[in-house]
């Protein structure tokens, strides 16, 4: 059985993401963290969001800055800056930014 990593992304750009979608953050799971060579992780969202008349149930996240690795999220205290892509026309398009953090068990209970 594959170990799924539970993540939370606080959206910082676009600044009006919460107003547009009704969500302040995205939560979901990935198994891509198991591949140490993976530079980006695909996240299956717990709750999809609609933006520009398109419903998105998955996003692709990558480090916001050159030289960073997503695996740093395991050591981050406040979160790790990421860029966020959604599917558009069959391709991933980076259109958002946010802070990635591990989802803690107490957050899941609430």
Element (DSSP H or E) covering residue 97: strand 91-102
Residue 26 pLDDT = 96
Phi, psi of 96 (to 5 degrees): -140, 170
Residue 24 confidence class, pLDDT cut points 50, 70, 90: confident
Place of tokens 């391709």: 91
Provide the 3-class DSSP secondary structure of residue 18.
helix
Q: Tokens for 109?
A: 């209970």
CB atoms near residue 40 (< 10 Å): 16
Residue 8 has pLDDT above 50, yes or no: yes
């Amino acid at each position: 059985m594959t170990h799924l990593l539970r993540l939370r992304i606080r959206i910082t750009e676009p600044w009006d993401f919460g107003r547009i979608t009704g969500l302040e953050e995205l939560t979901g799971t990935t198994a891509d963290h198991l591949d140490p060579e993976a530079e980006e992780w695909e996240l299956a969202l717990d709750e999809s969001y609609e933006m520009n008349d398109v419903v998105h149930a998955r996003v692709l996240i990558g480090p916001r800055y050159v030289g960073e690795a997503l695996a740093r999220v395991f050591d981050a205290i406040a979160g790790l800056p990421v860029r966020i892509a959604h599917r558009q026309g069959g391709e991933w398009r980076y259109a958002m930014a946010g802070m990635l953090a591990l989802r803690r068990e107490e957050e899941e209970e609430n």
